[in-house]
Amino acid sequence: MLGTLCTLITALTCVSSVTVVTQKPPVVTLRKGETATMDCNLGSVSDSRVRWYKQIPGGVPHEVTFHIPRSFSAHIDNMLGTLCTVITALTCVSGVTVVTQKLAVVTVRKGETATMDCNLGSVTGSGASWYKQIPGEVPQFVLNFHRSDSSPRYGSGFSSPKFTSTHQSTTDYRLIIKSAEESDSAVYHCKTWDGSVNNYVFGPGTKLIVTGSTLPPPVLTVFPPSKAELQSNKATLLCLSTQSGPFADVNWLVDGNPVSSGISTSTAVQKPDQTFHISSSLSIQTSDWNMNKAYVCKVSLGSQTAEKTINKSGCPADE
């Protein structure tokens, strides 16, 4: 649970406003069995309820079902320490309905139209909300649309005609992004309200990848095992990739053959210079390294691919 406690998020309601919601501290570390507290300040908002969401990196956000009555809204800041202590003991309810999204990955070229489909399961009276999430960043509310609406309701920074939504049935909704740009690359989550359990339910997300002809290839750096590791039976190779987009496929090869185990790859992290960094490690046998096998880290970003080879003979000799 420790890894997931620190990824509780707020501001996932459909309301877009100029207020800034802040949370502190950015990281909470504790031992199993201890109490975790996380504080949230609602900025200029004083008449809304607080909702907390738990999201494991790469997973679906789950609402932690705790609501502050409006009569207590004036005392929200004073209650935060107690609130955050209480909610960590509650279970996350995913809802009776299951929201599904048809395609896990959608890839389009720059300038094309991207479409993503969502099925609301057993929910027929609620519309669909869509959220854009770049790995490592706060989810952004894109739009909300109900089949009875004449047009969607938009979040800050999103508008027609670039973003729109349609429905194919009482439970099937579609997000449409026209003239897609590379900056539109993200994971798009579909969300609905399940009144039977008074809970929001999220879909698993659709990864949108927008490629362009000007997209530069990733820049790779591969590090050999450390001297200390080489004294044992196991060793680790590390590949660092810097690229212009958040989504990239990382693969390892040994003597030309794909590797399927011993790989651990992080999600992309955006840096201040707007580039994205991914790290991937490969666990190997020290004996294989000493046999001078060739290890290749291969990273693909859209149509651009980069690879870097490393072996024992190409590394400085141990002193």
Residue 138: which H helix or E strand, with range? none
**Mean per-residue pLDDT, 63-69:** 56
Q: Which of 40-44, 208-212, 252-256 has the highest mean pLDDT?
A: 252-256
Q: Note whether 65 and 51 are within 8 A (CB).
A: no
Tokens coding 149: 């609406």
Residue 26: which H helix or E strand, with range? none
Quote the pLDDT of residue 57: 65
Which residues of the chain does CATH 2.60.40.10 include? 100-211, 219-314
pTM: 0.63
Q: What CATH number was assigned to the domain covering residues 219-314?
A: 2.60.40.10
Q: How confident is the model at residue 95 (pLDDT cuts 50, 70, 90)?
A: very low
271-304 pLDDT, tens digit per residue, is: 888 889 999 999 999 999 999 999 999 998 877 8
Q: Note whether 243 and 250 are within 8 A (CB).
A: no
Identify whether 216 is preceded by a cis peptide bond (ω within 30 of 0).
no
97-124 pLDDT, tens digit per residue, is: 899 998 888 989 889 999 999 999 988 8
Residue type, 20: V
Alpha carbons 108 and 4: distance in angstroms, whole number: 32
Start-end of H helices in the chain: 2-5, 76-87, 286-290
**Mean per-residue pLDDT, 54-75:** 58
Output the average pLDDT for the chain.
Answer: 81
Report whether pLDDT(210) > 70. yes
**Mean per-residue pLDDT, 63-75:** 48
Reference 118, options 176, 194, 159, 65; nearest CA is 176
Looking at domain 100-211, what is its CATH homologous superfamily? Immunoglobulins (2.60.40.10)
6-22 pLDDT, tens digit per residue, is: 333 333 333 334 567 88
Quote the pLDDT of residue 48: 66
**Contacts for 84-92: CB closer than 8 Å, 24+ residues apart:** 84/36, 84/37, 84/38, 84/39, 84/40, 84/52, 85/35, 85/36, 85/37, 87/8, 87/52, 88/5, 88/35, 88/36, 88/37, 90/64, 90/65, 90/66, 92/54, 92/62, 92/63, 92/64, 92/65
Out of 26-30, 200-204, 314-318, pick the least confident: 314-318
Reference 63, options 247, 193, 206; nearest CA is 193
